[in-house]
Chain A
């Protein structure tokens, strides 16, 4: 909480103080009121207890008025100084889009829960990036689009992880809509990856984009894209693909590694101890290496609401009182 234009607050307060002081001085000067009606023997009036009481009432009123004016002026002076918070933000982080891309085919069912939990872990280390989740088997379903609403992200990831457990009573069914019976194929990793690539929005903007692809790459049948073609597409669109493979060996794994490395990314085995930390740090490092050094940006958020409200409340109190007294 700070004041951007603190000097303006000072100027306003000084000006009010100067005006009040000048008023006091002018009112205090003993000048003979020549236009006043002359009366005699006002002691008849001024010695009355009722007169003393009336003067005391008058003083109390003026004091109250002064306090109310202060209640109006002080918050307005503070509001004039632009109260708000200042934050330093790395623009590169904020600009990043990360698409979680999960294979929910039969061969992955047993390990998907672990992959989703890894995703959750990875996501916990990010702040500011936009995260999206796409689930696919022989066709892809967007679980949630790119968003920086981390509460939603964590809730959805936890929900889908729960959906994979056999005894779970989750309202999230991760396999819904991912298997099209008219397509005689399953686990089409090429189509899945391509769907994820196409799922990025703001194609016209230069944003660091990454996909974390959780799959064993055990493809049955033929899709529209092969994995290589999908990787080429990702590369064209400047999207890096990072792989998480629960079965990190064999020809499927080497094909996946080759595809991810083609886009500039890597593939890790799911069971590797500390794999998630490695994924995040690698993504961070790789992405950071790709980004030009951008100076941190100071973002300030103006918070004038409280002060303006206080001032307004003061005015709301002041005017009826003035009307009441001047009636």
Chain B
């Protein structure tokens, strides 16, 4: 039953050496630290603590290593916002199904949360079918969540609706959470910016983009079908240079708009098109967040 969590761990062990797992833990902890810089007290350094948390002055006075303990080290709750649906069954930029990347991204952060003893829950589904799971802190629960993502993200699944999910959360989720929003290239910044700003007032927000496959970039031989349609795209379009340029321009504009929106709302973001990119990009995202504070 813990198949998917094992996979997540496997990926982590490939990409992150022991020292880096600690880094990742520290980064994860800092997600919350950002909201409250005042610390509770000092405690002895233990293996696995981030050396950047060491209070060098206090350590010098005390004679042994002391690290700052933040208020934020209290337990908190991770909410995975997963727009599961047939869109997640489509192909990512790297050639894998997008759901694999989504599962890995949710799995890595979920595993870190579980490791810290934090609760993990998930809100998924589309309009009228929004489903929130319970918040638990166990690998079994995480596995259950990830399996649900796979089940909901099949080619014959109903469509997803990220803006709807975000609006639902802004209305219904009480208390302070860490939101991990799994997004893809279907996001229109104009439709989600206001909701995102509202969410940002109350919660910590992490944003992971799953890069969609460019429908013009598959080569002339392969046929391309939208998950929402029965018929394939006209195949001769793949060789149309003018169209490719125009599409590249419009996508560039949209991506720039998304990044501007994330910067304006102060949301840490990452983007992955392949499962091999997921762990490094999460490490990078957490590092950046930690430094930016």
11 sample A-B contacts, Cβ–Cβ < 8 Å, listed by A number: A37-B225, A38-B226, A39-B90, A40-B87, A40-B98, A40-B226, A41-B90, A42-B224, A48-B250, A53-B243, A58-B234
Within 8 A of B (CB), among A35-89: 35-42, 44-45, 48-51, 53-55, 57-58, 61
Q: Which of B22-30, B113-121, B212-220, B261-269 lies at the interface with chain A?
A: B212-220
Interface range, B side = 35 or more
List B168-222 residues whose CB lies under 8 Å from chain A.
184-186, 212-213, 215-216, 218, 222
Contact B185 A41 (CB under 8 A): yes
Please give the residue numbers on chain A whose beta carbons come within 8 Å of chain B beta carbons, in ascending order.
30-33, 35-42, 44-45, 48-51, 53-55, 57-58, 61, 325, 327
A229 to chain B, nearest CB (A): 89
Q: A32-B230, A42-B233, A48-B243 are in contact. Are A37 and B213 (CB under 8 A)?
A: yes
Chain A proximity of B237: nearest CB distance (Å): 6
Residue of A nearest to B155 (CB): A38
Question: Which A residues are in CB contact (< 8 Å) with B223?
Answer: 33, 35-37
Nearest CB of chain B from residue A63's CB, rounded to whole Å: 14
Q: Is the CB of A39 within 8 A of B226?
A: yes
Q: Report chain B residues within 8 Å CB of A48.
A: 243, 246-247, 250
CB distance from A324 to the nearest CB of B (A): 11
Q: Which residues of A contact B228 (CB under 8 A)?
A: 40, 42
Assess A50 versus B234: contact at CB under 8 Å? Given A36-B224, A40-B98: no
Q: Is B236 within 8 A of A42, CB to CB?
A: no
Which chain B residues border A31 with CB–CB below 8 Å? 230
B226 to A, closest residue via Cβ: A42
Report the nearest B residue to A27, measured CB to CB. Answer: B231
Shortest distance between the CB of B233 and any CB in chain A (Å): 7
Indicate if B91 sits at the interface (CB-CB under 8 A). Answer: yes
- B214: nearest residue on chain A (CB-CB)? A39
- Hey, which chain A residues are within 8 Å of B251, CB to CB? 44
**B11 is an interface residue with CB less than 8 A from chain A:** no
Residues of B within 8 A of A32 (CB): 225, 230
